[in-house]
Amino acid sequence: MLHHHSLLCVSRPVTHSTLFASVFPGASFAGNSSGRDTGLKFNMQASRSKSNSGHGIFTETRDRAKLRTTNISDGRAREGVLEEEASQLLESGPSWKIFPGQAFPLGVSEVDNGINFSIFSQHATAVTLRLVLPDSGSTGTLDGDIIEVDLDPHSNKTGDIWHICIEDLPRSNVLYGYRIDGPQDWGKGHRFDRSTVLVDPYAKLIEGRRYFGDISMKLSKFLGTYDFDSLPFDWGENYKLPNIPEKDLVIYEMNVRAFTIDESSGLDRKIRGSYLGVIDKISHLLELGINAVELLPVFEFDELELQRWRNPRDHMINTWGYSTINFFAPMSRYASGGGGSINASQEFKLMVKALHSAGIEVILDVVYNHTNEADDANPYTTSFRGIDNKVYYMLDSNGQLLNFSGCGNTLNCNHPVVMELILDSLRHWVTEYHVDGFRFDLASVLCRGTDGSPLNAPPLIRAITKDAVLSRCKIIAEPWDCGGLYLVGSFPNWDRWAEWNGKYRDDVRKFIKGDCGMKGDFATRVSGSSDLYRVNKRRPYHGINFVIAHDGFTLHDLVSYNFKHNEANGEGGNDGCNDNFSWNCGSEGETDDASVRSLRSRQMKNFHLALMISQGTPMMLMGDEYGHTRHGNNNSYGHDSAINSFLWGQLDVRKSDHFRFFSKVIKYRRAREVFRHENFISENDITWHEDNWDNYDSKFLAFTLHDKSGGGVYLAFNAHDLFVKVLLPTPPTNRRWFRVVDTNLKSPDDFVLNGVPCTETTYNIAPYSSILLEAKF
């Protein structure tokens, strides 16, 4: 295995043939699809599942006809074996030619003599290709004739790759999957089950149920499909990538569906919760001021996975999407109007094109640490587990699944085959969909070897860093996992990887809510976390600063609850982190107390101001700007029907006080270089107005950021429960201080762009509030 790792760490591109030759020495990889015609006739299943009405994959049926290919290697032709009576077969079917096919590319490809299917399985002993043909004249429906073709290991296998080519198959709307058999030895890590139809890991499109959360179709199967009929997507003559410098990013973490699914979005029902719905609300994003969206997972996932068996959470819908079925296919149920996978692909591209035209980059939250297939107690076998569990997942010495993801399984990321799958997936999203970057969920898993042990120089991380296609991308790690590998500030980075700065989140939360002894830590975080990132050629923007993310408390929760309240999700409060460093401002949960509500409003603005004036890259969560977000309380699944009804609210919510404040502060940051240093700030860039660093009880911090033109910005944060009267520093020559922000004031006085002149040399800063003064002529 060390040999494979060293091979994949070279800086030059590694070809597929080189990769698999290294994994399967002695194999020949010359293309072998040239003209070996078996002249085989297909027998097809006449009975079809009509109960799905085009909204779900066929129901499993026993009425199928099996077809076996001719064994070319020993010349013994094997007749087609019918499992059912001849009366169940079509009297006459198309006569298609089949060829042995070729190993590469993996997945489905169109070749000169037909459609080529290729799948890797090192330990399989038998592979059967299952095809579902579209009904004639019924484009887009999922019912059709079912064909199964057994692949011959002598003629349809190269190394550990099984392949076949079929002539004259339709060029689109064919569904396909595989039945795979192999050793029945759980102690050695095998989980083969020939009865399950499996999704091709390299399928570029996935079909399943058509409508998100359709309970009537909750047991629908998922299959791959392809589309060689559609014209290439037109990106436009004047199209260009935004290419925003990392130091200038303001990231908005959002969920495609939740962003517009509520009726208060004002959108037509057909496009609510879809990629097209995002397009319709780009004007909102521009008004807010962000220039990058980080989309929660958009790879195909099963939102009803928890409803497959009786359990305490079987009433829930997975709306966040951290449960991947396939790494290449866009979530098909984010297509408008139940349009399916081909429309989803087209609409995703339309969304990216529209966002780019508006100057907004698209970063994808990607989950390569685990899949939807869960654990051995409640397995949900859809793909990898049944194809080759021993290759795709980390196992212990007894063949049992290792769980560093908290989700029952851990992808074997640094196995050379799995590593190439991940690289191919990333390249696909960059070349096919033009995305600008990736945020890697639980990225510390990607730093573990095949036995789960941490690696100092993980081959996959290095390969992503050095890959030519990915060179233009932002790459961001969530630098921890559920096995305790916490790498904030020490993630293997090759001076390229950015990191979610979990220490920023915790330290800022603690200081703003008034914890003692946090002043020095708060100062370190807002000045760029040099203790973490000032190494080699790293920059402040390699720290992704955030106070709130999709995990855990929303901004509203953070100022409204001291404890989790997750009663609705059926987990008894055992889910999520217990250390949220939150403060309810005097009353647990919702309240009509005006003083508590006022304090909460102030605290939310304090958090936002701190985030936007900090050196590094700020990231905020969808809904933060409204100040009345519905609480999620660590629940990453949620009730889909209520998950974001807060987002649009009444018709005038976009003009709400909180939206106005958040938008103004974001735009203020983007307009001033003083908050966006390329390098770590020096003593010439900042003056700390502080001689009380060692006072454990001090909860006040003030400092001035100096700009290159001789001006400056004065900031003060008061986390005491009392007023603090400060002596303002002398402004730069020929300038005076103007108040831009005071979070204690009501809108619109809490933010005044042109500033209000300070007539005194002192400023009385209210309890739990912050100010920003700008030096102007």
- Helix ranges (DSSP H) in 625-763: 657-670
User: Would you call 478 a catalytic residue per the annotation?
Assistant: yes
Short-list 609, 588, 548, CA closest to 770: 609
**Spatial separation of the C-alpha atoms in residues 552 and 621, rounded to whole Å:** 11
Q: Would you call 310 helix, strand, or coil by DSSP?
A: coil
User: Would you call 441 a catalytic residue per the annotation?
Assistant: yes
Q: Would you call 424 helix, strand, or coil by DSSP?
A: helix
**Spatial separation of the C-alpha atoms in residues 316 and 296, rounded to whole Å:** 18
Q: Which helix (H) or strand (E) holds 330?
A: none
Beta-carbon neighbour count of residue 412 at 10 Å? 26
**Spatial separation of the C-alpha atoms in residues 299 and 292, rounded to whole Å:** 19
**Spatial separation of the C-alpha atoms in residues 700 and 702, rounded to whole Å:** 7
Burial (Cβ within 10 Å: 0-12, 13-18, ≥19) of residue 358: middle
- 207 with 340: CB under 8 angstroms? yes
**Spatial separation of the C-alpha atoms in residues 381 and 577, rounded to whole Å:** 29
Q: Give residues with Cβ within 8 angstroms of 609, minimum separation 6.
A: 665, 741, 743, 770, 772
DSSP state of 45: B
Q: Which of 143, 294, 478, 624 is catalytic?
A: 478
Q: Would you call 164 helix, strand, or coil by DSSP?
A: strand
Beta-carbon neighbour count of residue 310 at 10 Å? 6
- Helix ranges (DSSP H) in 210-339: 256-260, 275-280, 282-288
- Taking the CA atoms of the chain, what radius of gyration do you get in angstroms? 29
> In angstroms, how far is CA 662 from the centroid of its own chain?
25
CA atoms in the 13 A half-sphere facing the CB of 236: 12
Q: Which of 420, 424, 441, 499 is catalytic?
A: 441
The catalytic residue positions are 441, 478
